[in-house]
Amino acid sequence: MSDLKIGILISGRGSNMASIIEACERGEISAQVACVISNKADAKGLEFAKAHNIPAIVIPHKNYEDRQSFEEVIDKVLTEHNVQLVCLAGFMRLLTAWFTERWTDRIVNIHPSLLPSFKGTKTHKEALEYGAKITGCTVHFLRAEMDHGPIIVQKAVPILEGDTEETLGQRVLQEEHKAYVEALKMIADNRVNIIDERVFITQAL
């Protein structure tokens, strides 16, 4: 069976994207990153993708009058690159139901908290303000509702006294890199099953 073809959507730094690309190159994930798409021309991750000979395509959302026309172009590029699984990795645009339903069960997101806690973009600030003692990260299939969908992998990170958004964010990010690779490895190995909106993992042989 040929390797799973992954398309990664980014908006910035791309450290999750980089760890996915490296894990595919090492053969840890039986997949190939077929293309990287950014809605921002200055996204740092684009350089990394190009340096690894992966097509890195900019589709500026500002060029489109509504979300769906922007997403139609993304969809076209993904299809042209024979993408089978879409990975959101710091992609800072909300996707409409048109897109999420088109790619249902074939689109994965990473969020820097233990969902369903602390959805949105201020997760570390909110976890600190709430006084939570444990946070973490979640890799999940994406549904139309933001930061929601069947959970594939979660990793816990203790919140330490004296943590700032930056120190906590750094420790969570290290776990994100591991969690995303773990989830994609299982998907590529066909071990991830969604039943009634919950994920069940087939044990490795």
Residues that bind ligand GRF (CB under 6 A): 10, 12-17, 89-90, 110-112, 173, 176
Supply the minimum distance, in Å, between the C-beta of residue 169 and ligand GRF.
7
Task: Give the closest residue to 178 by CA, choosing from 203, 153, 150.
Answer: 153
Exactly one of 111, 124, 140, 177 is catalytic; which is it?
Answer: 111
Residue 13 or 125: the one with the smaller Cβ distance to ligand GRF is 13
Residue 57 or 110: the one with the smaller Cβ distance to ligand GRF is 110
CA 205, CA 202: separation in Å to the nearest integer? Answer: 9
The DSSP letter of residue 166 is H
Residue whose token pair is 């740092």: 44
Residue 16 or 100: the one with the smaller Cβ distance to ligand GRF is 16
Residue whose token pair is 């973490």: 136
CA 133, CA 113: separation in Å to the nearest integer? Answer: 12
**Catalytic site includes residue 111:** yes
Supply the minimum distance, in Å, between the C-beta of residue 200 and ligand GRF.
24
CA 61 from chain center: how many Å?
Answer: 19
Q: Is 174 exposed, middle or buried (0-12, 13-18, 19+ CB in 10 A)?
A: middle
Residue 7 or 90: the one with the smaller Cβ distance to ligand GRF is 90
Supply the minimum distance, in Å, between the C-beta of residue 190 and ligand GRF.
25
Residue of closest CB approach to ligand GRF: 90
Residue whose token pair is 């069947």: 150
Supply the minimum distance, in Å, between the C-beta of residue 65 and ligand GRF.
26
- Residues designated catalytic: 111
